[in-house]
């Protein structure tokens, strides 16, 4: 197989190196394109065919429905690992041994306090504020209270910024939920596991003892693992490009949260539940919504379906669908929404429009059903996605900084007015 690609234009040939990844993915390296062709660039809206970086963190095969974090399959990690282990794996590249994991958790616990002044910022939000808007603001506000984490370049300074945000982010997520519910802010309990403590901070009632529900903690841990990274998706690319200007980790994460909020991306899990509830309110008329999704005049899309990379089942959707049955069964919850989701999935998978476009359920299609069973409000679903994605964003930001990648600055093809003389206002 050749390690060169040739471009021919206007009778001239240009050669570019072809690079091959460890999973045999091939890319044409066009770093010299503009200089050798006297200014030509490529253009690819949405970057559907364009790689932004080389990365060793996550591998996806969209045709085969494969997802691996640092070489470990998502199926094995969801089954055998816990979220903190997976966070360590994504960020540092290896599964931690017992001592490494204990030290990582201890270092995080040391940083789990939030400056009391942050509560004034939280208080300033109306209860009606969307939790994603609150979270992206609080994450950015953290910078003011952690100035040494603003622009870190040494591995040691990065480590401290990383444990700091892994410690404080779950507190901010829990506070965001408790603010909505009018509950006093809770600091959790360092004697608990990372995810159990996160759950306690979210749900402990001020007048009741917190009791651990194994089923709930296990389901939450699995959901966080399944959301932990997904290579160069919209929000991760945002974190990387913001970080490439040497903006700090917290600022880059705040930008990533804002990008995740969109209903075409992480906001889809909330949109799925709202869609399923609308179908339920409509008497379960899935055919009406299928027709809307296929009608080019109708902006409605079947939320939770389709994916830029997966043209087969999203492996995470398979795991979550199975877990939804298990969690609802174990908790003794009969949720008609799950049956509507299954009916909609069956119809779409047999419908020519969806089959021809290889539109399958994605990670967001079933996740909301479990979040709902865990008592998480619908408008907090994307916040839960952000909590899961936090280690992936951190890992990708760290890789980009350690590899000393250049500032991200795409080119464009200008299609505006050619030069024209200024006309004073009284002559216009």
Contact set with ligand SDX (CB under 6 A): 46, 230, 233, 264-266, 268, 293, 301-309, 357, 359, 362-364
- Host H or E run for residue 64: none
Shortest CA distance to 232 belongs to which of 20, 395, 404, 405? 395
User: What is the DSSP code (8-state) at residue 296?
Assistant: T
Residue 30 to residue 50: CA distance in whole angstroms: 10
Nearer to ligand SDX, 160 or 301 (CB): 301
CB of residue 214 to ligand SDX, shortest distance in Å: 27
CB of residue 293 to ligand SDX, shortest distance in Å: 4
Nearer to ligand SDX, 141 or 279 (CB): 279
User: What is the DSSP code (8-state) at residue 61?
Assistant: E
Rounding to the nearest 10 degrees, give the CA dihedral for residues 197, 202, 203, 205. Answer: 100
Shortest CA distance to 215 belongs to which of 76, 381, 327? 327
CB of residue 274 to ligand SDX, shortest distance in Å: 12
Residue 229 to residue 243: CA distance in whole angstroms: 17
Instruction: Record the tokens describing residue 360, joined without a space.
Output: 């399958």
Nearer to ligand SDX, 139 or 149 (CB): 139
CB of residue 257 to ligand SDX, shortest distance in Å: 13
Residue 215 to residue 204: CA distance in whole angstroms: 17
282 catalytic residue (yes or no)? no
Nearer to ligand SDX, 194 or 360 (CB): 360
CB of residue 154 to ligand SDX, shortest distance in Å: 29
- Host H or E run for residue 9: strand 4-9
- Of the CA atoms within 13 Å of residue 312, those in its CB half-sphere come to 9
Residue 54 to residue 400: CA distance in whole angstroms: 9
CB of residue 356 to ligand SDX, shortest distance in Å: 8
Centre a 10 Å sphere on the Cβ of residue 392 and count the other Cβ atoms it contains. Answer: 26
Nearer to ligand SDX, 197 or 237 (CB): 237
106 catalytic residue (yes or no)? no
Residue whose beta carbon is closest to ligand SDX: 306
Nearer to ligand SDX, 233 or 244 (CB): 233
End-to-end, the C-alpha distance of the chain in Å comes to 62
Q: Of 199, 227, 230, 307, which is the active-site residue? A: 307
Shortest CA distance to 276 belongs to which of 340, 355, 372, 352? 340
List residues with catalytic annotation. Answer: 307, 364
């Amino acid at each position: 197989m050749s390690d060169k690609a040739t471009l021919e234009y206007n009778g001239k040939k240009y050669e570019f190196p072809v690079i091959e990844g460890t999973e045999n993915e091939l890319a044409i390296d066009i770093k010299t394109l503009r200089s050798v062709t006297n200014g030509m660039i490529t253009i690819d809206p949405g970057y559907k065919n364009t790689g932004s970086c080389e990365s060793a963190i996550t591998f996806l095969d969209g045709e085969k429905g494969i997802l691996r974090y640092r070489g470990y399959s998502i199926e094995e990690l969801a089954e055998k690992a816990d979220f903190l282990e997976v966070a360590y794996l994504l960020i540092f590249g290896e599964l931690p041994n017992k001592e490494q994991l204990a030290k990582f958790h201890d270092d995080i616990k040391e940083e789990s306090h939030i400056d009391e002044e942050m509560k004034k910022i939280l208080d300033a939000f109306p209860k009606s504020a969307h939790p994603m808007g609150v979270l992206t603001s609080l994450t950015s506000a953290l910078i003011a209270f952690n100035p040494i984490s603003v622009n870190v370049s040494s591995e040691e300074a990065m480590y401290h910024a990383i444990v700091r945000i892994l410690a404080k982010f779950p507190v901010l997520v829990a506070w965001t939920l408790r603010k909505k519910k009018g509950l006093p802010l809770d600091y959790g309990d360092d004697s608990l596991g990372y995810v159990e403590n996160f759950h306690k901070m979210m749900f402990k009632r001020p007048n009741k003892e917190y009791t651990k529900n194994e089923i709930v903690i296990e389901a939450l841990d699995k959901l966080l693992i399944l959301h932990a990274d997904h290579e160069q998706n919209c929000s991760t690319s945002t974190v990387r490009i913001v970080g490439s200007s040497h903006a700090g980790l917290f600022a880059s994460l705040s930008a990533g949260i804002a990008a995740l909020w969109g209903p075409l991306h992480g906001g889809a899990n909330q949109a799925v539940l709202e869609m399923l509830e609308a179908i339920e309110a409509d008497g379960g008329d899935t055919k009406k919504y299928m027709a809307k999704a296929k009608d080019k005049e109708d902006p409605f899309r079947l939320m939770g379906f389709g994916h830029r990379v997966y043209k087969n089942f999203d492996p995470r959707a398979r795991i979550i669908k199975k877990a939804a049955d298990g969690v609802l069964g174990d908790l003794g919850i009969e949720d008609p929404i799950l049956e509507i989701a299954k009916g909609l999935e069956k119809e779409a998978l047999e419908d020519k429009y969806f089959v021809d476009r290889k539109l399958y359920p994605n990670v967001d299609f079933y996740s909301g059903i479990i979040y709902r069973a865990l008592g998480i409000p619908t408008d907090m679903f994307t916040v839960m996605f952000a909590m899961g994605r936090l280690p992936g964003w951190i890992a990708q930001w760290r890789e980009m900084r350690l590899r000393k990648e250049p500032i991200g600055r795409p080119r464009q093809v200008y299609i505006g007015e050619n030069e024209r003389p200024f006309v004073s206002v009284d002559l216009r």
